[in-house]
Structure 1
């Protein structure tokens, strides 16, 4: 590995001020794969000061949008060039299959390319003025200094959703990856440096959320916080950000319903239900972990799921035949186990899984068997709470209205799906489902052009698409009187 394995502040690769380091381990076998700086508030403050100075001097914001776009486009090209190295690092760090990581890198390059193309497409607009001989226009300007906090499940993918639009719109930034999955962030900062991002514009600080994340959220020199993670942390960030009324973009997870009607294509619905949950061992905010199945096909559908799940191949992400890797950490494995135990105590039935695998080759890793719960009701914690693991709960419904009501019975509203061959019914359900994305005969598909974000406690704001670009801008109205006259009011 040729990574610098340092933080990147004001255009320089540096150690933590304290000299502290953190060991990064492979979740497949707990082997040490790297040692990285463990920054704290002082490192965050240094990065914020660099970003503040870089923004206030105006060089990056005043760089023509076409030039900023060209630099962001270069980053996309370098990601494609170094795809295999990045995918290898991502799988080492997270335990996901390398095939999935390769797909992530394609998506990430696409995100940078999309926002590069948008960089010079908004020149503002002229609006009607009630005053003769005047010009009234609306323009968008960069917010300023952006604090960005990314999760461990899709480290570089989630980072790309934040880095690309922030850079394209002329902001400066400080990004903090999860302390347990920093490797691809380090690599992409090498690529950003190579692409020509000026010193101070983009800064990388490594360390824990309760130090660096807290500083980013409360520091008055930070103008915007973009955070992807859990509700508890998101609420703390909202409170801390109120000190200077920062702009907020929060994606706080989901408990996503997947409604299966009896008239759906059975085999496709089964396959999509599995794909919607078990990628990256279910550690996906948009996973369709709440199956809501029409009663007439419930038993047959569950049996089909169970038979497929029993054949899953668990193992190292670098084995080509592996379908599902480990969970991210021992701590998270323990949380998933407690989550399943709570479901059993509440009366849910484990149809398959519900424990760690017995395979001797998997004992060093943080593995948990893919699990399906039946006999589930909406008052159970496994139905209401985000488990963030390889777990499906199955509920029954009889009518279309009941299916919609069950789908909306949640504090979350990130995403959901409907499987049916009755397009009118699908559209009726989609219109009534209170969530940011609704898929019809599909689950977990996203692309850079479409906005991503949730209703209710799934968050605030949107990423991706034009709306994701707008999160990093302020709207300004400029009025110019071309023939001013005295008012003689006083």
Structure 2
């Protein structure tokens, strides 16, 4: 079936046939030990579209044991150049199955098909990138003098756990699993229970690409039933977690009991600073994308607009119109550019923030309400929302709403803009729009953030390290630094 026919069929039926409904363990599909099943919901319709295995601690233990056997056996014997070939082959298979993966991502997450296609392309690029790194993970030599040969070896850390969020299921799986495999580690993946499908599909593609049995396993189920026993398992050497700060603290505590290392990509309340000297059209385009892409369900979303007073009124007027021009609806409709909220529970959380803001008399020039798909009257949607002229200590400024809600802070000059940018407990990313490169460099120096964007929000790519400071996390993903997270260094010194 052509990609166009497949998309048309799924739009008509609401179902994509052939989706996996079991765990992927030891190179094969495996039902849950307890026989349980769960439903996966289509946020655009607010109804189930598939079922999948509800795992537990027994399934988790089986997967970890499989990963450990593979790491100590077949995978250990695979040369780095062969790891590179397998990852490159996986990138090709992702592209070959791109439309099916994208449609699945829409059905599971609620995002638009254009966003999902971008995610799939990014996942393929991720495997391309780390395929290139697999055979270049070099050690170093140390100058101890002519009587010694001293050098280091980068060894895989062992079995790695990957706890995947629901907002970018395929992208986040790829960006942590690919460098782990490049380093020679094995993996046990626990996708969010709201969005399990593409992690399962990716594991099968990796196996097809030549990954030995047990190198990449996926166990589906709830955080309590699967995530907790996985992060607490004594055979896990490294945990990569993306999600809320509160859950990240629990993950770190679990890792500490086994002296496992962690990469934590946690919450964000990122500032997008717009100075009076900026290119207004460029800034408007980027502010809209920074907060309303994926309906604002992005840890690094530009969820705070810090804007100079001189341009505030006119900028907000135009921004309100841009927000109202967004076309909301089910993600499989190619005319839509604003998708659904992932779950009823999350929609209620966003709504509660705006109900509270409204009760306190805050200015909401547009949005602020849950709504439905205009075409069908179904789904979990929230209007693109702007809350204007907020005090720095307001909950809408300080707390991660994780939805299409932009908090506006008005400042009088550059120095106040930097102070406003740093006013929360989070420090994931920060953006600035200005024609003054001196101010841009000063901002990059003075803002506390893991990455800084100048005149393009979400700039960068898989090559660029990503991660946060303070309550936004520990460690970095993407770039070559990610491979180092999955390695342990052994130094060898020989007296000649």
* Structure 2 length-normalised TM: 0.95
- The aligned counterpart of 1:488 is none
Q: 2:202 aligns with which of 184, 188, 192?
A: 188
1:223-250: CA deviation from partner (whole Å, max 9, x where unpaired): 0100000001000011111111110000
- The aligned counterpart of 2:437 is 423
Does the aligned pair in 2 maintain the 1:62–1:170 contact within 8 Å?
no
Secondary structure of the residue that 1:136 maps to in structure 2? strand
- The aligned counterpart of 1:485 is none
Q: Distance in 1 between matches of 2:360 and 2:143?
A: 61
Does the aligned pair in 2 maintain the 1:281–1:324 contact within 8 Å?
yes
Root-mean-square deviation (Å): 1.2
Give yes or no for the alignment of 1:371 onto 2:423. no
Does the aligned pair in 2 maintain the 1:61–1:142 contact within 8 Å?
no
- The aligned counterpart of 1:33 is 49
Q: 1:23 aligns with which of 34, 39, 47?
A: 39
Q: Distance in 2 between matches of 1:377 and 1:73?
A: 50
Q: Distance in 1 between matches of 2:226 and 2:30?
A: 16
Aligned residues: 480
- The aligned counterpart of 2:14 is none
Give the superposition deviation at 1:346. Answer: 4.2
- The aligned counterpart of 1:50 is 66
Does the aligned pair in 1 maintain the 2:386–2:408 contact within 8 Å?
yes
Give yes or no for the alignment of 1:245 onto 2:259. yes
- The aligned counterpart of 2:111 is 96
Q: Tell me, which stretches of 5 or more residues in structure 2 are unaligned? A: 1-16
Give yes or no for the alignment of 1:106 onto 2:121. yes
Give the superposition deviation at 1:356. Answer: 2.1
Does the aligned pair in 1 maintain the 2:123–2:170 contact within 8 Å?
yes
Q: Distance in 1 between matches of 2:57 and 2:336?
A: 40
Give the superposition deviation at 1:358. Answer: 6.5
Q: Distance in 2 between matches of 1:360 and 1:66?
A: 52
Give yes or no for the alignment of 1:327 onto 2:341. yes
Q: 1:263 aligns with which of 277, 280, 285?
A: 277
Q: Distance in 1 between matches of 2:19 and 2:370?
A: 34
Give yes or no for the alignment of 1:352 onto 2:352. no
Q: 2:90 aligns with which of 75, 83, 88?
A: 75
- The aligned counterpart of 1:276 is 290
Matches within 5 A, 1:404-415: 404-415=418-429
Q: Distance in 1 between matches of 2:417 and 2:48?
A: 47
Give the superposition deviation at 1:127. Answer: 1.1
1:130-156: CA deviation from partner (whole Å, max 9, x where unpaired): 5x4221001211000101100000000
Q: Distance in 1 between matches of 2:128 and 2:297?
A: 26
Q: Distance in 1 between matches of 2:278 and 2:211?
A: 49
1:436-489: CA deviation from partner (whole Å, max 9, x where unpaired): 11000010233111100011110010000011111111111111112xxxxxxx
Give the superposition deviation at 1:185. Answer: 1.1
1:78-108: CA deviation from partner (whole Å, max 9, x where unpaired): 0011111111111111111111111111111
Q: Distance in 1 between matches of 2:322 and 2:119?
A: 25
- The aligned counterpart of 1:392 is 406
1:276-313: CA deviation from partner (whole Å, max 9, x where unpaired): 11111000111101000000100011101011111211
Q: Distance in 2 between matches of 1:356 and 1:13?
A: 39
1:199-256: CA deviation from partner (whole Å, max 9, x where unpaired): 1111110011112111111111110100000001000011111111110000002100
